[in-house]
A and B are shown apart, each in its own frame.
Chain A
Amino acid sequence: MKRYARLWWSCLKQAIRRDLQFRSQTVTNAIASTAELVLGLIPVLILTGTAAAAVGWNGPLTLIVVGIYGACTGLMDCFVAPNLRRIDGYVRKGELDLILVRPVNAQLFAALRWMEPAELGRVVTGLGLAAAGAHAAHLPITPELIVRAAGWTAIGFIGFSLLWANLVYLAFWFESAEPINEVALQAREAGRYPLAYFPKSVQFVLATIVPAGLIAAVPAKVLAGTVAALSTGLLLLTVGVLLTILHWQLASRRYSSAS
């Protein structure tokens, strides 16, 4: 475990050095990442402004959803997305060889090797938005509520990352799997909206198979006082982890390597 922590820390240092090499590009990406969050707020606020009374979600509560969503997806785009976007290339060009020969867990290393620290700007902005929303909504925020909400966000984060990973593993089975990353990113957008706006069947999908709804909508409801047991989420997550490991093992057997 300590070895993996050291490895992860080395990857992070390398990523920061790389960003410092291309400073103007990094700054522009950080601005774009934050702008993405602010611009993404617009459609949700318009929706809430038109339909707040109808579904019981007001502006401040929506701000919490968008804020948590922005912070969580910022983390995902920093630590997870840069790796998943490369899996297709690893398989097509045979670059996976260089990962498989290392004395580490190849699946874990392929999922955590690359990082884009510029995306972390959205984490700060997102948490700021969420805090402003909680303040405006006069929510009685307690440490216990924050821990519970963070737990749900973590389940959503890991759950959606697992789904995304399983989708990109299609690269082992099909040659043209690269745009699946775009499909995953677009599906993730559903997490930006409070779940109450979706039909019941879609709400179920967004809480289980495509857990975009767990990233922010459920944590925001937890902060607003709705009790949701973490055990169901943890159970689903365990199933997801096991299936993803199995999928990697089956898929990597198909890998024919460059050498």
Chain B
Amino acid sequence: MRLARVLRILVVREVTIMLHYRWWLAMLQLSNIVAPAISLLVWRGAIAQGAKPPVTESFLTTYLVLVSIVAMLTSSWTSGFLAASIRLGGLSSWLVRPCSTHLNGLANNLAEKVIKLFLLIPLAAVLGFIFRNQVDLPTTVGKWLAFAISLLMAAAMTFSLDIVIGSLAFWFEDVSAVDRLRSLLARILSGALIPLALFPAAVRSFLDAQPFRFMVSFPLEVLLGNPSRGSFALQFAWFAAFVGAAVFVWRIGLRSYQGAGA
């Protein structure tokens, strides 16, 4: 209960701070919508010229219209802040408080999502309106509920992975290159650029099992398709593994922390 109250206070504080950067965030959302829009244009162009992808045009269009929103909601930008606070000793001020730095990171992420959602939805809506004939959203409440649960687990996985990468700053001076490699892998393997269903059948079993799928693609598969119970179980297993890894790496790292005043 106390944690929820602190989280609420932190989120309100972060929202207030971020409102100063609303134009900055708006431009960032514009960049988020450009990549799926390009994918949508080339794939629809190819289909119009007779290409036959393994998914329906309506699935492809709805997926690429929604993917920027899902990718934003499941994203996290904690690793850079966390690494800087470890490197520069700012972590010390959180260690002496009766509140975890991760709660602050969580509040920061929640606040940026609230603001970004307001900015991104109109852009995605414009894209959806342009291709409205092929956008097909489910009407059953159950699907949206399952989507929300899957989305929450996906967001928690990304946040945990960010804590793991940020925590590497306990041992390395600069973790930005590792972060860049992670982003590259995630871009392709999460389905943020193109749906994983379009990949060749030979690599599908690998793609279906790897964790990045559950960070973007899977919530959309839940919303637009009928994934098996095994897939839900696998997402939960990855979710538990990522949260466990974040807790483990953080605790080990704290032992080697040498910040100002620590």
Residues of A with Cβ closer than 8 Å to B? 22, 25, 28-29, 31-32, 35-36, 39, 42-43, 46-47, 49-51, 53-55, 174-180, 182-183, 185-187, 189-190, 193, 196-199, 202
Q: Number of residue pairs across A and B with beta carbons under 8 Å?
A: 109
The interface residues of chain A lying within 8 Å CB-to-CB of B200 are 46, 49
Is B174 touching A25 in the complex (CB atoms < 8 A)?
yes
Partner of B199, one of A29, A46, A178, A189: A46
Beta-carbon contact of A186 and B181 below 8 Å:
no
Asked if B188 and A39 make an inter-chain contact with CB atoms under 8 angstroms apart, the answer reads yes
* Contacting residues, chain A, for B31 (C-beta < 8 A): 179, 182-183, 185-186
Kindly list chain A residues whose C-beta atoms are within 8 Å of the C-beta of B185: 39
Q: Interface extent on B, as a size class?
A: 35 or more
Whether the pair A174, B23 counts as a contact (CB closer than 8 A) is: yes
A32 touches B184 (CB 8 A): yes
List the A side residues contacting B39 at CB < 8 Å.
43
A50 and B198 within 8 A (CB): yes
Q: Is B49 an interface residue (CB 8 A)?
A: yes
Contacts of B199 in A (CB 8 A): 42, 46
Kindly state the separation between the CA atoms of A52 and B53 in the bound complex, as whole angstroms.
Answer: 11
Q: Is the pair B177, A32 in contact by a Cβ cutoff of 8 Å?
A: yes
What residues of A have a CB within 8 angstroms of the CB of B43 in the complex?
A: 47, 197
Q: Across the interface, do B42 and A197 meet the contact criterion of CB distance under 8 Å?
A: yes
Chain A residue with Cβ nearest B53 = A50
Does B184 lie within 8 Å of A183, measured CB to CB?
no
User: Complex Cα distance A15/B41, Å?
Assistant: 39
CB within 8 A of A43: which of B45, B54, B193? B193
A189 to B33: give the CA distance in the assembly, Å. Answer: 12
Closest to A51 in B: B51
Which of B38, B51, B54, B181 sits near A32, CB closer than 8 Å?
B181
Q: In whole angstroms, what is the CA distance A127 to B43 when docked?
A: 26
Q: Check B187 against A51 for contact (C-beta < 8 Å).
A: no
Residues of B within 8 A of A202 (CB): 41, 45
Cβ A176 vs Cβ B24 within 8 A: yes
Q: Which residues of B contact A43 (CB under 8 A)?
A: 39, 188, 193-194
Inter-chain CA distance A199–B180, complex, in Å, is 32
| Interface residue? B17 (CB, 8 A) | no
Q: Cβ of B52 < 8 Å from any Cβ of A?
A: yes
Judge whether B171 is part of the interface by a CB distance below 8 angstroms.
Answer: no
3 nearest interchain CB pairs? A51-B51, A28-B177, A182-B31
Q: Who on chain A is nearest to B189 by CB? A: A39
Given A29-B180, A186-B35: A179 touches B46 (CB 8 Å cut-off) = no
Tell me which residues across on chain B come within 8 A of A199, comparing CB atoms: 41, 45, 48
B77-107 contact mask (Cβ, 8 Å, vs A): 1 or 0: 0000000000000000000000000000000
Chain B residue nearest in CB terms to A31: B181
Q: How far is the CA of A22 from the CA of B187 in the complex (A)?
A: 27
Residues of A within 8 A of B193 (CB): 43
Instruction: Tell me the B11-54 residues at the A interface (CB within 8 Å).
Output: 21, 23-25, 27-28, 30-31, 34-35, 38-39, 41-43, 45-54
